[in-house]
A and B are shown apart, each in its own frame.
Chain A
Amino acid sequence: MLIVKALSKRFGTKQAIADLSLTLEEGHIFGLLGTNGAGKSTLLRVMGGILRADTGSVCLDEASVYENPAAKRKICYLSDEPTFLGSASLAEMGRMQAAYYPEYSESKLKTLCERFALPMHERITSFSKGTQKRAQICLGLALNPRVLLCDETFDGLDPVMRDSFKRVLSEETVDRGLITVLAGHNQQEMEDICDSVGFLHEGRLVCSGDLDALLGDVHRVQMIPTDETTDEVLAALGPLRMQRQGRLYMMTFRGDREQLEQKLSALQPLFMEFLPLSLEEVFILEMEDRGYAQH
């Protein structure tokens, strides 16, 4: 279990992470969403023991991660800018990993490289950006880590490779109970693969939790009520938001869908439709709920 407790990290005058707590359990994939500069990379780097937290802690099985080789051997951080030793090939990088990680498996690297169509003995820096990313993923997975921290790893991968990566990730999650954190801003990707997500805003986790719960808890309804139904009646139902265009109302509610449907049907609207909400919209609502400005 990877536990982040009351974490804060400051760069000069910029508060990158502020009092952030998070618990990640084995076999789960956590999606970390957030705008640019929200502190996603910083959080991952602190979790990977690369940066030292100002206050708070990151513990893997109750052992602090920072400067703790035993814990760090189980964590793999895939940087948003794939970095390799100067002029190294995949084989060379493999040798480095072999030197540092007892769990590293060379055969796994070979298998992965075949699967992802990567040459083992060429200079990695001569690869294209997407290929470098693939190389990075293969190297990371060959470590057999218990925690995989991916910083925008999906960006720059073509759809086929994304799919392959997702499959591998699923495999590892089932087989070894891998803890994965996927940071990025592609919400669609997150919705597919993650079971829980968190939205990071100005260094704080605005909301986090089970993906389905998050999505299933908020509903948007488009309806044309009867003439007798006044705004007051609708407002009494407690929508999070209510907009009106002519006779058409657009309302957002929180709560159980069936109950809501019954309540609204009771008003006998002329037209009523439940519209799906995207993860992003849910987050924006959540942020408004907590008093953040919309942008």
Chain B
Amino acid sequence: MFLVNPKSKQPIYEQLVEQLRKQLFLGVVQAGQALPSVRQLATELGINPNTIQKAYRRMEAEGMIISVPGKGSFISDDLADMLKKQRDEQLEKTRKQIRTCRDMGLDKQLIEKLTDEIYGEGDPC
């Protein structure tokens, strides 16, 4: 479910959060699905359990998962709001970026071409 790249300069817990987020958006994981326990994941990946704990806390704060004491962590049942919110945020960011592009005098076709290119790459996972 998770892969860690120790060579990356990105903190491990961020890597974990990013990976889950991607999987959620892509619909790879289902709502209500159980996440591996901290112990299981730490042993599997050979990383510090506190890091995983931290990543799970972050995911929970963002509404991606919910933790049930004594049972473990699960993918949040109510993903729609979270996904919508995140998508809206991202859209707003993109809007700003495109505005900057326009201000810098970039050609509209160029942006459209770039968009086609990225969407054409397919699944990044």
Direct contact of A and B (CB under 8 A): yes
Using known A-B contacts A192-B12, A276-B10, determine if residue A167 contacts B46 with beta carbons closer than 8 Å. Answer: yes
How far, in angstroms, from A211 to B6 measured CA to CA in the complex? Answer: 14
Chain B residues with CB below 8 A from A166, complex form: 46-47
How many residues on A have C-beta within 8 angstroms of the other chain's C-beta atoms? 25
Number of A-B contacts (CB under 8 A): 59
Q: Report the nearest B residue to A191, measured CB to CB.
A: B6
Decide: B46 and A163 in contact? CB cutoff 8 A: yes
Decide: A175 and B46 in contact? CB cutoff 8 A: no
Decide: A29 and B48 in contact? CB cutoff 8 A: yes
Chain B 1-44 interface mask (CB, 8 Å, partner A; 1/0): 00000100111110000000000000000000000001100111
**CB of B63 closer than 8 Å to a CB of A:** no
What 8 pairs between A and B have smallest CB-CB spacing?
A276-B9, A166-B46, A170-B42, A195-B50, A174-B39, A167-B46, A174-B49, A212-B11
Chain B residues within CB distance 8 Å of chain A: 6, 9-13, 38-39, 42-51, 54
27 contacts between A and B (CB under 8 A): A27-B49, A27-B50, A29-B48, A163-B46, A169-B46, A170-B43, A171-B39, A171-B42, A173-B42, A173-B48, A173-B49, A173-B50, A174-B39, A174-B49, A188-B6, A192-B6, A192-B46, A193-B46, A193-B47, A195-B51, A195-B54, A211-B11, A212-B13, A212-B54, A215-B11, A216-B11, A276-B10
